[in-house]
Structure 1
Amino acid sequence: MFSALAATALAMSIVIPPGGAPGTTPPPDHFTIDVVTVNGSGCPAGTAAVAVSPDNKAFTVTYSDFLAQVGVGATPTDFRKNCQLNLRINAPSGFTYGIAQADYRGFAALAKGASGTERANYYFQGMSPTAYTSHTYNGPLEDSWQATDETDLISVVYSPCGEKRHFNINTELRVNVGTSDPKTTTSFMMMDSTDGNFSTTYHFAWKTCP
Structure 2
Amino acid sequence: MKPVSLLSLIPLAAAAPSNGIKARGLTVPTGPVPENVRIVGVSLLGSGCPAGTADVQIDATKTLLEVTFSEYIIQTGPDTRASDWRKNCKLTLNMEFDEGFSFSTLATDMSGFAQIPEGSKGLCTNTFDFTGISGKTSYELELVGEIEGAFTLSADPDVVSWSPCGGTTAIMNMNTQCNISPTKDAALIAVDRISGAITVNVQLDWHKC
Shorter-chain TM range is 0.7 to 0.9
Cα pair 1:80 1:174 within 8 Å, conserved: yes
Structure 2 unmatched runs, 5+: 8-28
Q: Does 1:157 align with 2:161?
A: yes
Aligned pairs, number: 184
Could you give the per-residue CA deviations for residues 13-33 of structure 1, whole angstroms, max 9, x where no partner exists?
A: xxxxxxxxx96332233x211
Three-state SS of the structure 2 residue aligned to 1:157 is coil
- 8 Å CA contact 1:42–1:81 kept in 2: the answer is yes
Is 1:89 paired with 2:88? no
- SS for the counterpart of 1:77 is helix
CA contact 2:150–2:192 (8 Å) conserved in 1: no
Instruction: Report the RMSD for the aligned CA atoms in angstroms.
Output: 2.7
Structure 1 position 34, deviation (Å): 3.3
Task: Select the structure of larger CA radius of gyration.
Answer: 1
Q: Report the equivalent of 1:19.
A: none
Counterpart amino acid of 2:96? N
Aligned residue for 2:47? 41
Q: Which residue of 2 aligns with 1:15?
A: none
Q: Is the Cα–Cα contact under 8 Å of residues 130 and 171 in structure 2 kept in the other structure?
A: yes
The answer to whether the Cα contact below 8 Å between 1:63 and 1:193 also exists between their aligned partners in 2 is no
Letter in 1 for 2:171: H
In the TM superposition, 1:71-86 aligns within 5 A as 71-86=77-92
AA paired with 1:128?
S
Q: Which moved more, 1:128-137 or 1:57-66?
A: 128-137
**Cα separation, 2, equivalents of 1:159 and 1:188:** 35
SS class of match (1:120) = strand
- 2-structure distance, mates of 1:7, 1:105: 10
The residue type paired with residue 28 of structure 1 is E
Deviations 1:123-167 (A, max 9, x none): 000222425432222222102222223258xx6432112243310
The answer on 1:202 being equivalent to 2:202 is yes
**Which residue of structure 2 lines up, in the alignment, with residue 120 of structure 1?**
126
Deviates more, 1:40-49 or 1:195-204: 195-204
Maintained 8 Å contact 2:124/2:142? yes
Q: For residues 86 and 93 of structure 1, do their structure 2 counterparts lie closer, same or farther at Cα, with a shift above 3 Å needed?
A: same
Contact 1:66 1:81 in 2 (8 A): yes
C-alpha contact 1:23 1:205 (8 A) present in aligned 2: no
Q: Greater share of strand residues, 1 or 2?
A: 2
Q: 1:135 to 1:74 in 2, by over 3 A?
A: same
Q: Secondary structure at the match of 1:171?
A: strand
| C-alpha contact (below 8 Å) 1:173/1:190 kept by paired residues | no
**2:70–2:196 contact (8 Å) kept in structure 1:** no
